[in-house]
Amino acid sequence: MKILCLHGRGSNNDIFQLQTAAFRSELNDFAFEYVQGTVPHTEGNWSLYTAAFPDTPLYGYYNPLQPASVTQAEDDLLQLIEQEGPFDGVLAYSGGTALAAQIIIRDSQKNAFSLPDERPFRFAIFINGVTPLKVIPAQEVKGESLDQSNDSSLAMEEVSNLLLRDSATRVRKKRSEYDTYDPAAIKQDIASLESRVTLDGRPCLSNGIEAITRYHADLDGVLIDIPTLHVRCLEEVDEDHGLNLTKLCESELVTEYFHKNGEDFPRGHTEMKRIAQLIRGTAERA
């Protein structure tokens, strides 16, 4: 059983290997292959695990403020899957879940009649799943620019809160030579985008050529029809931290497990053992 592993935003392969070590030890007949992001991450010390690796650079898979970066990450991962695969499943955490879901959705929409063994993955494990992003051409965006009183400005507010929040400005205890936090550059990226609304009514951020928005089950329906395991914190109030991704998946093929660690990674011997069991069960259903 060959599994592709995608770490969270602001992480790296070393951290993700540590996070998954406990349940991987229960799955010694599985092979886990880790793919590290290449976009330097801007945030500081927010997690138990990032604190354990103060000297290593942190990465994401794309810049969420640049449509071309999102599309390039999808292209690169699909090429890697073609070259290094086949993979039976994907194991992804936080920001990595969005990219994994984007790959699954993109392939399904392009190859609607492909057989299970022709798809990138036969099953997916999403830990603290994030709603996947969708890059669309400017023609699918309403022409008028929207002012800050409009509901669509929530998209701009959201990215500002995410990328300029306190944890983003917090320097890790032992600052790495790779730490590249630059709030001015982030603000410049944000300023290059406008809050708009897509033709089907969802908030988006547009640079005039392309726009970034999110998939949403209320508008898109079910887009992922392979067995999925969703490990998430039920106490999360933001639906984009797990619930929306779950709704994009075929309900009859969904398994859920809830932990108590918020946005951080689940942990504890009993919990990790149970997650290993659920991963095996999801793989067996594929």
**pLDDT at position 246, please?**
96
Report the percent of the chain where pLDDT is more than 90: 57
What local confidence, expressed as pLDDT, does residue 222 receive? 96
Tokens of 19: 């996070």
Is residue 198 within 8 A of residue 144, CB to CB? The reply is no
pLDDT at residue 149, rounded to an integer: 40
Strands (DSSP E) found in 102-170: 123-127, 133-137
In percent, the amount of the chain with pLDDT more than 70 equals: 81
The CB density around residue 20, as the number of other CB atoms within 10 Å, is 25
pLDDT, residue 96, reads 96
Q: Between 65 and 282, whose confidence is greater? A: 282
Stated length of the chain:
286
pTM (predicted TM-score): 0.88
* pLDDT bracket for residue 97 (50, 70, 90): very high
Fold for the domain defined by 2-133+215-285: Rossmann fold (3.40.50)
- Encode pLDDT of 111-167 as tens digits: 988 887 889 999 999 999 999 999 999 999 986 555 444 444 555 666 665 565 555
| Number of other residues whose CB lies within 10 A of the CB of residue 133 | 20
257 phi and psi angles, rounded to 5 deg: -140, 130
Lowest mean pLDDT among 17-26, 68-77, 259-268: 259-268
Question: By three-state DSSP, how is residue 272 classified?
Answer: helix
Q: Are 256 and 246 in contact (CB under 8 A)?
A: yes
CA distance linking residue 248 with residue 229, whole number of Å: 13
Instruction: Give the model confidence (pLDDT) of 222-246 as tens digits.
Output: 999 999 999 999 887 788 888 999 9
Domain-by-domain residue ranges, the chain? 2-133+215-285
User: What does the pLDDT average to over 196-204?
Assistant: 89
